[in-house]
Amino acid sequence: MVRRNTPSRRIAVKSAEEQEIMRRAGRIVALTLHKVGEAIRPGMTTGEIDALAEKTIRSLGAIPAFLGYNGFPATACISINEQVVHGIPGLRLVKAGDLVKVDLGAIVDGWYADAAYTFPVGEVSELAKRLMECGQGALTAGVEEARAGKRVRDIGAAVQRYAESRGFSVVRDLCGHGIGRRLHEEPQIPNYPTRGGNIELQVGMALAIEPMVNAEWPDVLQESDGWTFVTADASLSVHYEHTVLVQPDGPEIITSLR
């Protein structure tokens, strides 16, 4: 996830060999999120979740992509309830009914993959359930538009249309991104259509598509730690993300266990 700014049009297209390395990184990201999701329980600290994520990534032969990135102090961004993204793991306890967003990445032979998932802890509210369903559906809708000949704006339009049709809102100040040799590459991928979203997608592009969907208003604020973003109205938020390769026959998700 990156802040929205003026996009560049220099987009890297990945070779078949480079894509294969990214698939390995994506598999490790998916396995790590799966293991973390199985472990999360009430009474666990976000720091313990982060430690498990780091141990898993390293045990699978990869390097944590976020640790030290622009000074970020942990392997995973762990954000709870009204925290949207970039929560710093620490002593905060996970409680029953929480929505825990885990965003992490892995590096294999210098190539990155990145994904996020929102985990419910025990029984959550009906609103939380609907919001999670919406976030996952919005991600699916966005990924479906990651096809050669489509435009970046088509991804954002699909995400926004899906979320708003269900009564929720998409965050506008933060966006998805290209990915490859660097964690954040062009193009920027807002979750709504923009004038700068006219970039045509090509086979071999690698995209991190990541809807951030709020229960109420789309506005976010950054906390004093310089990292964590929260909903401005303290409403719930969810975050889902996949790394996707644009292929001749459509999008290929490389951060899924399926």
- pLDDT tens, position by position, 34-82: 999 999 999 999 999 999 999 999 999 999 999 999 999 999 999 999 9
> Cα–Cα distance between 239 and 83 in angstroms, integer?
10
Site of tokens 């965050």: 171
Could you give the C-alpha distances from 112 to 29, 161, 217, 229, in angstroms and in order? Answer: 10, 29, 32, 23
Task: Tally the residues of the chain.
Answer: 258
pLDDT tens for residues 90-101? 999 999 999 999
Query: What superfamily would CATH give domain 2-253?
Result: Creatinase/methionine aminopeptidase superfamily (3.90.230.10)
User: How far does CA 31 lie from the centroid of its chain?
Assistant: 15
The pair of three-digit structure tokens given for residue 167, joined into one six-digit string: 């009564």
Contacts of 22 (CB under 8 A, 6+ apart): 14, 108, 111, 112, 113, 179, 180, 206, 243, 245, 254
Dig out the tokens for 85 from the structure.
């993204």
Residue 6's pLDDT band, with cuts at 50, 70 and 90, is very low
Whether the per-residue pLDDT at 139 is higher than 90: the answer is: yes
- Preceding peptide of 120 cis, ω within 30°: no
Residue-wise pLDDT for 99-131, tens only, equals: 999 999 999 999 999 999 999 999 999 999 999
